[in-house]
Amino acid sequence: MRDFISEVISALYADFSSVNKGIDIVITDITKNAGVLEKKTVVSMGIFDGVHRGHQAVINTACKFKEQGLDFVLFTFKTDTVTTKGRYGHIEMLLSDVLKKEHFDKMGVDYIYSPAFGEIKNMTAAQFVEQVLYKRLNAQIVVCGEDFRFGKGAEGDAEKLNMLCEKFSIKTVVVKQAQYNGRKISSSEIRECIRQGDIKRANEMLGYNYYYKLPVMHGNKIGRTLDFPTINQEISKGHILPKFGVYITRTKIDEKWRHSVSNIGIKPTVEVRAAPLIETNILDFEEDIYGQVIQVELLDFLRSEKKFESIDTLKQQVQTDINKTREFFKARRIYNE
């Protein structure tokens, strides 16, 4: 098995291979006759974009079967290869594959099997069960959500999965879809909340605070001339864009969380950017962290981004935003930790 992993490691997608710790990652062309897992497994299936509370329920359910001596395989797709019939034509990522892997790493996953969507989308439901679940992944148990679809044209559902798996003595476990305020939790609903700036609702459905983890880049240093130094991070192409505006945030530096306030947008007052930027003022912090990969969590939406009449007006508004941020943390007795 280890020999196989060594053979396919060169074919790993770059963003996964950069964090190859904790999980044996199996990413390969499923059309090739290679890479059969020898040990019996429990397989959890889904796109898992966002790894929200519904996804967590599916993954945690599957993980419990490790107690029966099974290895835990998570079957998913490389997120940026998944196309849809919606208005965007593709999935706007909530999390990069790197960040998804970090979540999986904490949830007991032993292997990630993650082909590109195009390698598997023309498989029939029956072919998927036989060639992938039975022959490739050696599945004894498969776990999915009740809304799971698979096979060419999404022909298969949870009921069909159960019927096809019976032929190979594979047990199926279907997890009921998680709900929030009487509505089913979905990645599409979370994306829409983020687009609208309803970050608190998005966080409730995610089960954690939505965040970006990006390198700090050099900016124009205008923040320093305003007496509000900031760190700048460019949102990667393909990620969901939140409503442009100012957010109460917290920023993780050297394993310590610090209070912060962030503007997400194109900075219309001082420069108009083509690529959206996260510009974060970390309260009471002035250290040089250029080049570091820093995590910024969005906690609450303060106001929409706007073009101010003058730099002085902008400066006054930034101070107001900082004051509201301090009040937010003080009211909730949340301290730097």
Tell me the domains of the chain and their CATH numbers. Answer: 2-180 (3.40.50.620), 209-331 (2.40.30.30)
**CB under 8 Å to 157, separation ≥6 — which residues?**
148, 149
For residue 79, what is the DSSP state? G
Nearest 5 degrees, angle CA 301-CA 79-CA 96? Answer: 45
pLDDT of residue 333: 82
**Torsion angle of the four alpha carbons 278, 282, 287, 291, in this order, in degrees rounded to the nearest 10:** -20
Helix locations, the chain, DSSP H:
2-8, 14-17, 53-63, 97-105, 125-127, 158-166, 187-196, 199-206, 222-225, 311-331
Q: Is 139 helix (H, G, I), strand (E, B) or coil?
A: strand
pLDDT one digit per residue (tens) for the chain, 337 residues: 333 223 322 333 333 333 334 454 444 333 344 457 889 999 999 989 899 999 999 999 999 999 999 999 999 988 778 766 444 456 788 998 889 989 998 999 999 988 888 888 899 999 999 999 999 999 999 999 999 999 999 999 999 999 999 999 999 999 999 999 989 999 999 999 999 999 999 999 999 999 999 999 986 655 555 678 899 999 988 889 999 999 999 999 999 999 999 999 987 655 656 678 999 999 999 898 999 999 999 999 999 998 888 888 888 999 999 999 999 999 988 777 6
pLDDT of residue 9: 27
Q: Residue 185 CA to chain centroid, in angstroms?
A: 15
pLDDT of residue 308: 84
- Amino acid symbol at 84: T
The answer to whether 228 and 281 have CB atoms below 8 angstroms apart is yes
pLDDT of residue 117: 85
pLDDT of residue 28: 39
